[in-house]
Structure 1
Amino acid sequence: MTTAGSSRACVPTYRSLPELAVLEPQEHAYELADWIERIPATSHPSQRQVLDSAYSWLRLTSGLRSVSFDMAFDDGGMCGGGDFDLVWSEMMAEWQLHQIRLGYAAAAVEALVRALQLPAATVESAIEGAEADLGVLTPPAHAVSVAQHLLQHHRPASTGTSLSAGVGAAMDLRDRAARGELHIPEPEEHEMGFLATGQDIVCASREATSSLLIGGQVLLAWAVEKEVIQPPNEHKYLIDGMWMQDSMGKAVWVDDEIPYGDYLAFLHLEHGEPPVS
């Protein structure tokens, strides 16, 4: 019996746009880590220490690129067992890659909440408060769409359409995995072999990480607005250029430099291809 390959991948629209597409979580985490690393020295050494912790967790989030599983089991030589185990191993590697990355991202944002000395009891409530305080400021592009997509896959007891609702779902997903409450998917048997399953839970873990990272951007935007921290006093050099959103919501191509303070609103977007002249 042969393997039937991977099942249908889940690619939300905002990840496949020609302009203003959302970065994959590992690249998003790198850009956010780069921003935090460049925050000027603070008057409170303890705050800098916790910001450094958030930076380190983000570097782990970015640096995690692969996980290896071998689900082989000595079944006495059953004919299709090897193919089943191979597909299952690949499935577990993909799922756990995103699950581990989600755990790292959650640790990073929790550290960020501590660094900003927010009184909120949870990451979700901290980001909900930041959203409310920022008021008329436009949230990062696709922030609500990412939350909505995550909630389609993983819906906790309390739902909504805000970024903070997506952050709550992300933390709930992380916690349920830690408690062993998530169902572990197995391959499906088809006429031509075994078909990978579990794409919903893989996608949920990926989008949960993105929700948390965008939530981190909102926390930093709030901290800059309230002068809790100062933005990096330098410019981001865009090696490849990228699409950004103007005040009217239209995509604008930028191919030189941008102040780090302004870049905070766009660092989760893909560096793109230049416009056709």
Structure 2
Amino acid sequence: MVELLGPAEIRGLADELDVRPTKKLGQNFVHDPNTVRRIVELAGVRPGDVVLEVGPGLGSLTLGLLDAGARVVAVEIDPKLAARLPRTAAERAASVADQLTVVGADALRISAADLPAEPASLVANLPYNVAVPVVLHLLAELPSLQRGMVMVQTEVADRMAAGPGSRIYGVPSVKLAWYGPARKVGAVPRSVFWPVPNVDSSLVSFERGTPVEGIERQRLFDVVDAAFSQRRKTLRAALAGWAGSADRAGELLVAAGIDPKTRGEQLDVHDFVRLAAQA
């Protein structure tokens, strides 16, 4: 039987390790077992699944994943937290503690070679300040990663799942869409965290779909970055630097079947692929 962590256990571990959550690392620890169970259930974790967890912290979600029968690869940048996590698993999930592997590393720098197994899914309470870069990096570096369920700041969740035409549609929306569909699954109350964050949190799920063909990823991403670098400008003006001039940008847009007076938020990922292919 796995004993999940509650508020008292979280505070006890933090005191033992002299851990003071920092904004720099975006640390907010989940202390509500019901929230942990909900995340694991929504993620569809099945016994035997190899699950990647980024930023396990004190181990709340880690224990929930182990309880579901997953093989967990936990990537933790904080050496103190990384060293304590296996012992927490041994104390509270003795029968399945051997299903946990902790990798002390920065998730923004890991590759498949750094991991002991190929994860099929990502389930994580991601540090708010690096959530999107982490997801995009992992999708690029880990071909085995087919799906994910991540808890992020609600504002970030909205941008990740936004579609064309929305004011919040932008770089994260398009880049994530290149890999596959993403959707906002639900809200997470502030009260389940310690310390209580001053922002709202939400769950986002994503799946790796059929790759959007027609262009190499980095060429596409360069166009997307340029298109949203000056959101108020038309694409003809915003893409002048990328294309070499506004006139050239206009020519490429017309060749791709896109009105040069359009703005970036009106294009879907397929439009951007056609545009990038013209360069």
Flag whether TM exceeds 0.5 (same fold).
no
Structure with the bigger percentage of strand: 2
